[in-house]
């Protein structure tokens, strides 16, 4: 068990930021996190977080997973320097957000399921898939081995066909995950969009959350609404020199807008 005072880190904000669907609040200030086949419990206290793991496991996996080596203080300074009122409010509101360094396959599955879906349903689908697979996150071969009845019980809808086709493509070598990890952001988006079920929004989510290509700027219904209502479709990362950290800017915007609307 580790008690840590971490700058620019808030597990509650991260868990509710829409980038990961396998974080569960089990008590007022306690979360359980599943990352592929790893598990961690975190408790939030005044000024600190308690990680229920030993130092070796924290150093070997969770420190990188939570992107603790990145100086988000400097990133926030850059955004605050734009003097853009909305961005400043968003950064202050979500000051503990970080981009997780998640497993590529888990992110790919999660955001294919996310299409035209809400967060509680996405979480439920992923939990059912893991429960069907003995608690382990299903790899491509597992999807092909699931029987139709089991998959139908997950209630994936049209997304089932997308996942089965992607899984088959990975298994036969037509979808190369290792090759994808070596691509630039623009190559990544172009490559992902050649596969059935992956459009621009999902491709950018995979790039940002599965490959840590932080220049990606996914535009979902929340961001689209922000660009229309807050900026009258005249939003430009290049104007403020933030195009290289567009994904982090997006997370501040998404979290702020969504929490305002849900309050």
- Does residue 261 sit within a domain? no
Quickly count: other Cβ atoms within 10 Å of residue 77's Cβ.
11
pTM for the predicted model, two decimal places: 0.94
Per the structure, how many domains does the chain have? Answer: 2
Task: Name the token pair of 88.
Answer: 């400043």
The most distant pair of C-alpha atoms in the chain lies apart, rounded to whole Å, by: 55
Q: What is the CATH number of the domain that holds 76?
A: 3.30.310.260
- Does residue 95 sit within a domain? no
DSSP symbols for 52-73: SS-HHHIIIIIHHHTTTTS-HH
Q: What is the pLDDT of residues 48-101, one digit of tens each?
A: 999 999 999 999 999 999 999 999 999 999 999 999 999 999 999 999 999 999
- Edge-to-edge, what's the strand order for the sheet holding 23-27? 2-4, 48-51, 38-45, 30-35, 23-27
Q: Are residues 110 and 170 in the same domain?
A: yes
Q: Are residues 21 and 62 in the same domain?
A: yes
- Does residue 183 sit within a domain? yes
Q: Are residues 109 and 201 in the same domain?
A: yes
Mean pLDDT of 249-260: 94
Residue 247 near residue 215 (C-beta atoms within 8 A): yes
Say what the pLDDT of residue 147 is. Answer: 85
156: domain range?
A: 104-211
Q: What is the pLDDT of residues 184-215, one digit of tens each?
A: 999 999 999 999 889 999 999 999 999 999 99
- Does residue 249 sit within a domain? no
Q: What is the pLDDT of residues 86-131, one digit of tens each?
A: 999 999 999 999 999 999 999 999 999 999 999 999 999 999 999 9
Q: Are residues 62 and 133 in the same domain?
A: no
Mean pLDDT of 135-143: 95
Q: What is the CATH number of the domain that holds 136?
A: 1.10.340.30
């Amino acid at each position: 068990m580790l008690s840590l005072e971490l700058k620019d880190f808030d597990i509650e904000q991260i868990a509710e930021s829409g980038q990961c669907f396998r974080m569960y609040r089990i008590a007022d200030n306690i979360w359980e996190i599943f990352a592929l086949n790893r598990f961690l419990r975190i408790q939030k206290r005044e000024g600190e977080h308690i990680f229920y793991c030993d130092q070796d496991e924290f150093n070997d996996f969770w420190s990188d997973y939570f992107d603790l080596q990145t100086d988000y203080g400097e990133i926030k300074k850059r955004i605050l320097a734009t003097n853009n009122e909305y961005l400043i409010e968003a950064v202050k509101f979500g000051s503990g957000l970080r981009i997780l360094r998640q497993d590529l396959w888990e992110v790919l599955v999660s955001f294919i399921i996310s299409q035209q879906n809400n967060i509680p349903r996405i979480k439920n689908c992923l939990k059912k898939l893991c429960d069907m697979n003995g608690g382990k996150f299903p790899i491509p071969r597992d999807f092909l081995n699931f029987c139709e009845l089991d998959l139908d019980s997950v209630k994936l809808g049209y997304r089932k066909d997308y996942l089965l086709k992607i899984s088959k493509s990975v298994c036969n070598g037509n979808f190369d995950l290792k090759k994808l990890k070596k691509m630039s952001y623009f190559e990544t988006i172009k490559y992902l969009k050649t596969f059935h079920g992956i459009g621009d929004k999902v491709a950018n989510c995979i790039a940002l959350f599965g490959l840590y290509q932080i220049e990606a700027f996914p535009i979902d219904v929340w961001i689209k609404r922000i660009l229309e209502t807050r900026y009258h479709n005249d939003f430009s990362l290049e104007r403020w020199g933030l195009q290289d950290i567009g994904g982090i800017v997006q997370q501040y915007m998404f979290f702020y807008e969504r929490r305002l609307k849900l309050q």
